[in-house]
Structure 1
Amino acid sequence: MADTSGTATADVIKDPKQEDGVRRRDFINIAAVSAAGVGTIGIVYPLVSQMAPSADVLADSTTDVDVSAIEPGQSIKAIFRKQPLFVKRLTPAEIAEANATPLSDLRDAESLADRTRPGHEDILVTMGVCTHLGCVPLGAAEGENKGEYDGYFCPCHGSHYDVAGRIRKGPAPTNLEVPEYEFISDTVIAVG
């Protein structure tokens, strides 16, 4: 029967190698992209994973300190990230002295409450590193020179800190740093 609409019809000839599903070219493209993806992961993963901190760095990232044996007025030294850490239990007289100091008298104005944790105002945790040039101040051990303000004294350049670790005299620009820490129990703090 002839087509009367004036349009020619073409018979579609099917390639016997082409099936209704995935053609060979599609399979080759998928395989090539998959191989490239696996190769990229094989190259990028070692580069990214070598930037992760090593086990010794992760071990130094936090330090637990038991404060139960510290008597009022006593300090201990610990190590946090390979630097000295001072933990001091303040006496009621030292707390009163620190709270009585007007903030306007301080170079780096911070109250004792800013430097301690609520409920544990008698525990002061500071880094044992002078903020001037990084020397280790005296005053954490028994019999050491505590400076004019009965806190810490840096023998390198003469910075004097009060009982709350706040700079009072000398070239240090800021207070002794208070690291991030939290009480994980009533007697143990986790620093870091």
Structure 2
Amino acid sequence: MASVDHSDGQTLSGGEEVRRRDFINIAAVSFAGMGAVAVVVPLIDQMNPSADVLALASTEVDLSAIQPGQAIKTTFRSQPLFVRHLTPKEIAEADKVDVATLRDPQTLEERTVDGKKQWLITMGVCTHLGCVPLGAGEGENRGEYGGYFCPCHGSSYDTAARIRKGPAPKNLEVPEFKFTSDTAILVG
């Protein structure tokens, strides 16, 4: 059986025809798809954080000047960060607490790095409504549990920054961090 050649298409081996109109439609859809990609890629790329924001993605903290029993307040991602050098007495007080009695049960070991139990790194933001607790500065009220005290609504945290009293639902957050040396940490 012979195939007939039409003026608007081309004859294929099985008798199917690819018409010029089909080719133009496929080419137009392909061109439109590439145009959409050319518009969408820069649009999505502009949503990435700028270089100055990426620079704040991590913070290095020098621990060498922080004495046992002392805490400092610094910033991480524009929020307060508390770094506390726990004394052996504060570690013992935190360890003797029955974790089952805590609202947000965590041991001191779960909140610190192995072998560096004396260093407690937490965000300085109360988990109730986001106020900044007292206790990191010299002479500030540390609350009845010796950790941190939120003056906004009275939440008290112990020496391991665990919620013990007040409306806060969770412990102070421990951010991701690592020791870069014996006297420095990198947060973030």
When normalised by structure 1's length, the TM-score is: 0.80
Alpha-carbon shift at residue 56 of structure 1 (Å): 2.6
Name which of 23, 35, 39 aligns with 2:35.
39
Q: Aligned equivalents of 1:28 and 1:170: distance in 2?
A: 71
Alpha-carbon shift at residue 57 of structure 1 (Å): 2.0
What one-letter code is carried by the residue in structure 2 that aligns with 1:171? P
Alpha-carbon shift at residue 42 of structure 1 (Å): 2.2
Alpha-carbon shift at residue 177 of structure 1 (Å): 0.7
1:23-102 map, 5 Å: 36=32, 38-102=34-98
How many corresponding residue pairs?
A: 177
Q: Aligned equivalents of 1:30 and 1:106: distance in 2?
A: 65
Q: Deviations over 1:160-187 (max 9, x none)?
A: 1101100111111111111111112222
Any idea what SS the aligned residue of 2:93 has? Answer: helix
Name which of 140, 164, 167 aligns with 1:171.
167
Alpha-carbon shift at residue 35 of structure 1 (Å): 5.1
Gaps of 5+ in 1: 1-8, 11-24
The alignment status of 1:187 with 2:174, answered yes or no, reads: no
Q: Deviations over 1:96-129 (max 9, x none)?
A: 1110111122111110000000011100000101
Alpha-carbon shift at residue 33 of structure 1 (Å): 7.6
When normalised by structure 2's length, the TM-score is: 0.82
Gaps of 5+ in 2: 3-19
What one-letter code is carried by the residue in structure 2 that aligns with 1:170? G
Corresponding position of 1:16:
none
The alignment status of 1:150 with 2:146, answered yes or no, reads: yes
Moved more, 160-169 or 42-51: 42-51
What one-letter code is carried by the residue in structure 2 that aligns with 1:62? S
4+ residue segments displaced more than 4 Å = 27-38
The alignment status of 1:140 with 2:136, answered yes or no, reads: yes
What one-letter code is carried by the residue in structure 1 that aligns with 2:107? S
> Which has the larger Rg?
1
